Structure 1
Amino acid sequence: MNLSYTFMKLLSRFSKNRHEVASNYFRKRGVIVGEDCNITCNILPSEPYLLSIGDNTTISTEVLFLTHDASIGKIYGKEIASDLVGRIVIGNNCFIGARSTVLCGVTLADNTIVAAGSVVTKSFPQGNIIVGGNPAKLIGNWDNFKEKSKDNLFSLHGKKGDVAKKIILSNQNKFIKKGEV
């Protein structure tokens, strides 16, 4: 792990606005980061100036943004074409799930959720959608997701450790279906 990134993570723990500390760290390295973003891992690609993240976007743990791919050199030969390079644009109010990978040249519209573990190989220009899989494809929309998840909703924003645990466990009946013990 990068020493400056580790220092930033430590510094952010003592800050009133830890999310802004992380966003500023990535901005200083060339990433375009909007306002009110929550970035929980080291997202720096080899060309940080090719990564743009919109406002109110969350990047979960272990997400990779690959703005550079050297595989084409095997096809053309390094003397002709050694690299694929492309911009990655993440819209406003998006969520990129844990351990997802977003490849060069991808643009995600506003209000896009990327399911955990997905590999996003192409752009999704429509918003209010959920994409997932390898390669990622359209798997749902926001309205269906809201309906499907309504029985397991919690407001844990800003709550940590024992406080979050107490809220979850006090509502454990949400996790037991009728007839189960």
Structure 2
Amino acid sequence: MEKKVAYWRKQGMKIGKECHLETMSFSTEPYLIEIGDHVAIAYGTFLITHDGGIWCFRDEIKNGDVFGKIKIGNNVLIGTNCIILPNTIIGDNCIIGAGSVVRGKFPDNSVILGNPAKVVLSMSMQKLFYKQNPGLMNTSNLSWEEKQKTIKKHFNIQ
């Protein structure tokens, strides 16, 4: 992953520290993308910095292109198969739900879902839901084998 991040930075993308960036795709303008610190972007996410719809007006708007920046704050999780469109600002401490299509400005501490994406609840409420979730387990520090054993025991799987 470090090789990919180094390549993207060389192309002009601003990427903060301690990010976990799965396979993602982005437009031909990586220099219009800024990713904060401690950001996780899951598999299949697209970061799109131009609006191809102008193509429909090519006879009236000769040689026209429309671009927009994307800014992702600090401590953000973007779920699998999201699309982040031009002129989008995602605040700090946000979760973007899988499959969301995101365009616009979103405040700090938000859980954002849907197509079109919208704020559905605060991060403080999401944390409360996680703390009450019967599937919550302390496994992130375990080996793969220990983690598997713990999960199977929790769900009564032989």
Smaller-chain TM-score range?
0.7 to 0.9
1:145-173, CA deviations, whole angstroms, 9 ceiling, x for partnerless residues? 11112222234436564443223212226
CA contact (8 A) 1:107 1:122 kept: yes
Pairwise mapping of residues 82-161 of structure 1 onto structure 2 (< 5 A)?
82-124=64-106, 126-150=107-131, 151=133, 152-157=135-140, 161=144
Taking the aligned partners of 2:102 and 2:147, their CA distance within structure 1 comes to 32
1:51-98 CA distances to partner (integer Å, 9 max, x unpaired)?
Answer: 110000100110000001221231464634632211100000001110
Secondary structure in structure 2 of the residue aligned to 1:26: helix
Name the structure where strand makes up a greater proportion of residues: 2
SS at match of 1:68: coil
Q: Quick check: 1:68–1:86 contact (8 Å CA) kept in 2?
A: yes
Check 1:112–1:21 CA distance in 2 against 1; reply closer, same or farther (3 A cut): same
Q: Give the Å deviation of 1:43.
A: 3.4
Q: Which residue of structure 1 aligns with residue 151 of structure 2?
A: 168
Look up the equivalent residue of 1:146 and give its one-letter code. K
State the match for 2:10 in structure 1. 28
Q: Distance in 1 between matches of 2:29 and 2:139?
A: 35
Q: How far off its partner does 1:104 sit?
A: 0.5
Q: Which runs of 4+ in 1 moved over 6 A?
A: none
Change (3 A) 1:145 1:41: same
Paired amino acid for 1:153? L
Q: Which amino acid is the alignment partner of residue 168 of structure 1?
A: I
Unaligned runs of 5+ in 2: none
Specify whether residues 41 and 155 from structure 1 end up closer, same or farther in structure 2 by C-alpha distance, changes over 3 A only. Answer: farther
Q: 2:78 is matched by which residue type in structure 1? A: I
Change (3 A) 1:81 1:140: farther
Does the aligned pair in 1 maintain the 2:73–2:91 contact within 8 Å?
yes
RMSD: 2.1
Structure 1 letter corresponding to 2:8: F
Query: How many pairs are equivalent?
Result: 154
Quote the offset at 1:106 in angstroms. Answer: 0.3
Whether the 8 Å CA contact 2:24–2:42 is kept in 1: the answer is: no
Matches within 5 A, 1:10-89: 12=1, 20-75=2-57, 77=59, 79-80=61-62, 82-89=64-71
* CA contact 1:108–1:123 (8 Å) conserved in 2: yes
- d(CA) in 1 for partners of 2:146, 2:6: 29
Query: Larger helix proportion, structure 1 or 2?
Result: 1
Which structure's relative contact order is higher, taking Cα pairs within 8 Å and 6+ residues apart? 2
